[in-house]
Amino acid sequence: MSPRISPATRALVAALVLTSVSQPLWSVHSLAADSTASSVALAVTGKTVAAAEAFLAKLDETQRAKAVFAYTDDVQRANWSNLPTGIYHRAGVRFGDLSKPQREAAMAVLAAALSPRGYQKTVDIVTADQVLKESGSPQGIAFGEDEFYISFVGKPSTTTPWMLQFGGHHLALNLTIRGADGVLTPSHTAAQPATYTLNGKTIRPLGAENDLAFKLINSLDSTQQPKAILGSRFRDLVLGPGQDGKTIMPEGIRASALTPAQQKLLLDLANEWVGISNEATAKAKLAEIRANLADTYFAWSGPTTPGSAAYFRIQGPTVVIEYAPQNLGGAPTNHIHTIYRDPTNDYGRKFGRP
């Protein structure tokens, strides 16, 4: 079935053909595809803005003042952490201070901005923190779903840049939006417990990340694996919360040394972070990573036996992803931290100011 192309796009393509008959046909098709993709992305932005405005309309004046910051507020932009309430102070609107209709409206913003699986991963991480709370919290430290915050850096808009922030203990989503473009970096996803049971079902918020990584490292042959495995051990994230603007040298095996099947595994693994955002944003980002695959590295530290506690990293020109089990609060495999960054465009800095 042929893709649906709007009348405006058809007219644009026809004009280009008439004015530049020497232009390769594939470039015209590419332009039409790009235009369609942009229209889809703009539609997602429109839904997200509408959901944000509906949420803000449900807040009283005091709550709205807490929820919205100026786009030039760099302090709030970087105000995120893996740490729980009691150790780290967040700003924005606290979920525990919202009524049920207000909380539902806040979650509707996330549902509009994220992919279905990204939204579910978010819910599973929040639920994990509620499970942690119910297992007992140290004095002065607060876990649980009430301790998550939502805020906007800049006024939600379909044209000018703004940022949606949602986070709490073990979660920080920073989604900067400008029209059809979106950037989900830097973002922090984590889980403790990394495995729990809910309504008779086993939940692993970061299970796919773990399983794909072990599948990839164990697909490497005897000449590839030594290149991927680092000599040093990593106990935590190198570029985690509080490390904005810092860089590290690429290490591990280059993706150009991988087979096509292994390269696909690497992209599938990266997509566990990239794919948290809505499909249009994720598709564009994954295409960018794929285009830079020759300069992308996969590094590993720790045992390669599935189920073990191992650190890994994906690093390319426009992406850094880290996964690090934690030696705190029980088995390292049950307490995971991860980070997703773009060293060239964290916080959508390429978008500039409105």
Average pLDDT over residues 83-97: 97
Identify the pLDDT of residue 336: 97
Tell me how far apart the alpha carbons of residues 82 and 97 are, in angstroms, rounded to a whole number: 21
Residue environment code for 95-109, b if the CB has 16+ CB neighbours within 10 A, otherwise e = beebeeebbebbbbb
**CB within 8 A of 279, min separation 6: which ones?**
40, 44, 115
How would you class 4 by CB atoms within 10 Å of its CB: exposed for 0-12, middle for 13-18, buried for 19 or more? exposed
pLDDT band at 80 (very low <50, low <70, confident <90, very high): very high
Average pLDDT over residues 93-122: 98
Q: What is the DSSP letter of 318?
A: T
Measured at the CA of 175, the angle between CA 32 and CA 322, to 5 degrees, comes to 105
Report the SS3 class of residue 337.
Answer: strand
Is 31:12 a contact under the CB 8 Å cutoff?
Answer: yes
What is the share, in percent, of the chain residues with pLDDT greater than 70?
90
**CB within 8 A of 307, min separation 6: which ones?**
333
pLDDT, tens digit (0-9, with 9 covering 90-100), for 311-342: 999 999 999 999 999 988 778 999 999 999 99
pLDDT, tens digit (0-9, with 9 covering 90-100), for 251-306: 999 999 999 999 999 999 999 999 999 999 999 999 999 999 999 999 999 999 99
Query: pTM (2 decimals)?
Result: 0.89
pLDDT, tens digit (0-9, with 9 covering 90-100), for 48-70: 999 999 999 999 999 999 999 99
Going by C-alpha positions, the residue among 318, 313, 303, 317 that lies closest to residue 338 is 313
Encoding tokens for residue 309?
């506690």
